Amino acid sequence: MMDISREKMYVWGLCILLFAGCKSINGKYIHEDDILYVQGRTPWNSRQYCYADKFGSPKLPKEYPFNYFKAANPFSYGLALVMDQNDEWKYIDRKGNVVIDASDYSMCWGFGELMNPGQGCIKGLAYVCKSESDTCNFLYYSEDKGEFVDSGTRFGMINRKGQVVLPIEYEHITGLNGDIPPYDAIWWVRKNGLYGAINEKARLIIPLKYTDIKLFENGHALVKSNDFWGLINKRDKTVFPFSITEYKQFATSKSQSRTLAKQGDHWGIINHKGKTIIPFVYARWEEVQDWHIVRLYKADGSYVTWNFKEDKYLD
């Protein structure tokens, strides 16, 4: 029978009590007594915020209830983004000290915060932007013009020291699709109408040269250049030539993308690595069931049926 001393039992019990009052935030355990929560100062005024402990007692700003924040984000990576009473952005620590004066920026995001719904964030970095207008507007698609319209806002990124790690000169930043695999930790940036890619350290790894892009998935991405689409890998190596004029992407049950593509006058199917799995000899295609079963026809009327979900022929 294992002999456990009273001292060891006491230490183990103390550890259990300590961890019972802890929460994991960004992979680090923080005792619940030290966690600060955003709280509206008054229910009728959404422009007055403070930070309170788990009991609802105000802790920040220190002068509360005489002062307040006009905007307040949850703490992330030890810092919180707030807007002071002069409408200026600041990043503060848990003691209320201003660590980063972000008043030069038109708008900021918290560290690790999504810039757009469904878009992943770069851990430990924060998006910032500058705009000539009062608001920061994202690059948007105009149905009337049939193209993306530049709003004049420029985006970049800073680290937790306030240093600019991605210059505030990009029209758009996009990457991942939430945090769901198989999307890769690569973000596209757009400048002067051309796209390049950065990694999780905000370093440019693919030059600004593509006119349109799809997100990186399983190490590869569809990109457009000179009116044609092609497939590249993370090192910007072309794995399927720039010869695609039309396409439609599907997903398999293994979350691997398959692309129904058109070269010249013919359709075929390639996998996520650029390998042709159905040759480009078909004149047209049609969906025969939901989103995953497609029939491809030759000019003589013969056809094959492909199940994208199961990644195989049905005929």
- Residue 230: closest CA among 244, 247, 217: 244
Q: What is the pLDDT of residue 19?
A: 47
Q: Which pLDDT does position 57 carry in this prediction?
A: 87
Q: What are phi and psi of 61, to 5 degrees?
A: -70, 160
Distance CA 69, CA 61 (A): 8
Residue 16 has pLDDT above 50, yes or no: no
| Residue that the structure tokens 């030290």 belong to | 34
pLDDT in tens, 255-304: 888 999 999 999 999 999 999 999 999 999 999 977 789 999 999 999 99
Instruction: Kindly compute the dihedral angle of the four CA atoms of residues 239, 244, 247, 249, in this order, to the nearest 10 degrees.
Output: 0
Distance CA 211, CA 205 (A): 17
Q: What is the pLDDT of residue 1?
A: 45
β-pair partners for 79: 76
CA dist 106 and 89 (Å) reads 8
The reported pTM is 0.82
| Contacting residues for 174 by C-beta, under 8 A, at least 6 apart | 116, 119, 187, 188, 215
Q: Quick one: pLDDT band at residue 17, thresholds 50, 70, 90?
A: very low
- The pLDDT of residue 150: 79
Nearest CA among 210, 306, 298, 227 for reference residue 259:
306
The pLDDT assigned to 18 comes to 41
The pLDDT of residue 33: 52
Is a pLDDT exceeding 90 seen at residue 13? no
